[in-house]
A and B are shown apart, each in its own frame.
Chain A
């Protein structure tokens, strides 16, 4: 059978420090299993043939969604369904719910994790553009210590991250949204069995009381080798009065920041459409909340 898994050692550490020391010991020969919806497929395709598989599910300290009013913290065992069903996230970070619901199908959402979606680093992943817009930070730990970085710096290329063999993504942190902010995640899928995302756009804007843009954050997915933060578009919006007239130009600038490799024309058009539409939705959300 082509899809038969090669043999491997199966390890079930019960603490994070145990898991990190296993990663250390089997440097480069081990893969981490959380949801498995990407890992098991790649192992079946023999793209990955780890000697050791380290299952995290016995580590209860990695399974949490916590919000203290300043930071939302999500552990690496949290699935897309858990994010989508979390009342805290629905209330405070609805864009993240939309991004998680954009992922495949119930079977995948029930099993796959947010952290795994980041680590798999598919260029078409749905959560990175939303997390870029939400200014998410990623905590990575190894036996030597920890480091924290912005989510947009985590990706190195298609299916590549800056994570070292001995490191694990151990937390996703999102700051609370300031007053007068609103956002949206919009996407369009390819029509295939797995409905992979063709273009995904995450937008978050914060306004001053005079309706001028205090901050803008825009993430683009599936339009380049890795998720893109649209810095130029953000700069363009900053300080300006946010009105629908601006949205078309913002969309055009965002297109210049993308580098789609296939279905180029369509993808470029859809970036324009989604940046414009997401800015409109974000503005309406802010106006609705005032």
Chain B
């Protein structure tokens, strides 16, 4: 802690969508604000900002978390995956394709978080049943679709990916 300077910037190293970042930030920056405002990755959405809606879900070392409740400083040394890192080489991820194909996107605000919760599920269980999908997305609120098409899209993607 520097003398005189009361609120000190904190230096962190982390990987976001496979790319290394070395940045200095204020400790009161959440991972969500850091991703959106400092890195410019606005695919991660801010909904309630208090851990209830799941719009800000990203994967931290492969596990879904609410980025609004994580200090960016606390992500030091971690790997973050946001929706921008889902597709590869200009191609959409099978989950994204299935969401479009099945009409699982309406206003789209919950979609990024939904996709990441679904990705974490399929990474762990490539062939989930409907119940498993519902449990995996229980922390992602959607106020448009009624979830039916989202659940179907995840199951369709799982089949396509060979689960």
Residues of A within 8 A of B (CB): 1, 3-10, 33, 36-37, 40-41, 44-45, 53, 55, 57, 81, 104-108, 110-111, 193-194
**Residue among B1, B7, B54, B70 making CB contact with A7, cutoff 8 Å:** B7
Contact A44 B1 (CB under 8 A): no
Q: Are A33 and B51 in contact (CB under 8 A)?
A: no
Q: How far is the CA of A29 from the CA of B71 in the complex (A)?
A: 19
Q: How many A-B residue pairs have CB under 8 A?
A: 90
| Contact between B49 and A7, CB atoms less than 8 A apart | no
Taking the closest CB of chain B, its distance from the CB of A19, in whole angstroms, is 15
Query: Which chain B residues border A107 with CB–CB below 8 Å?
Result: 51, 54, 57, 64-66, 117, 139
A7 to B71, CA, bound (A): 12
| A44-B50, A107-B51 known; A5 vs B70 contact (CB < 8 Å) | no
B141 interfacial contact with A, CB 8 Å: yes
Q: Cβ of B48: which chain A residues have Cβ within 8 Å of it? A: 193
User: A249 → chain B, closest Cβ, in Å?
Assistant: 36
Q: Are B69 and A111 in contact (CB under 8 A)?
A: yes
Could you say which residues of chain B place their CB within 8 Å of the CB of A8? 7, 27-28
The residue that A110 contacts in the complex, of B27, B65, B68, with Cβ under 8 A, is: B65
Does B63 count as interface, using CB distance less than 8 angstroms?
yes
Residue from A3, A9, A33 in contact with B7 in the complex, judged by beta carbons closer than 8 Å: A9
B53 touches A193 (CB 8 A): yes
Contact: B27 with A10, CB < 8 Å? yes
B1-59, CB < 8 A from A: 1, 6-8, 10, 26-30, 48-54, 57
The digit string for B69-112, where 1 denotes a CB below 8 A from any CB of A, is 11101100000000000000000000000000000000000000
- Chain A residues with CB under 8 Å of B66's CB are 37, 107-108, 111
- By secondary structure, the A interface counts as loop
Query: In the complex, are the beta carbons of B63 and A81 less than 8 A apart?
Result: yes
Task: State A190–B10 Cα separation when bound (angstroms).
Answer: 40
Q: How far, in angstroms, from A110 to B60 measured CA to CA in the complex?
A: 10
Q: Which residue of B lies closest to A40 (CB)?
A: B69
B136 within 8 A of A: yes
Closest to A1 in B: B49
How many angstroms from the CA of A76 to the CA of B73 in the assembled complex? 20
- Give B117's nearest chain A residue, CB to CB: A106
Is B161 on the interface with A (CB-CB < 8 A)? no
Question: CA of A4 to CA of B28 in the docked complex: distance in angstroms?
Answer: 8
Q: Out of B29, B52, B68, B74, name the residue touching A194 (CB < 8 Å).
A: B52
Q: Which residues of A contact B117 (CB under 8 A)?
A: 106-107
CB of A9 within 8 A of CB of B8, answer yes
Distance to closest chain B CB from A42 (angstroms): 10
Flag B136-149 by CB within 8 Å of A: 1 or 0 each: 10110100000000
CB-based closest 4 A-B pairs: A105-B139, A10-B27, A5-B28, A3-B49
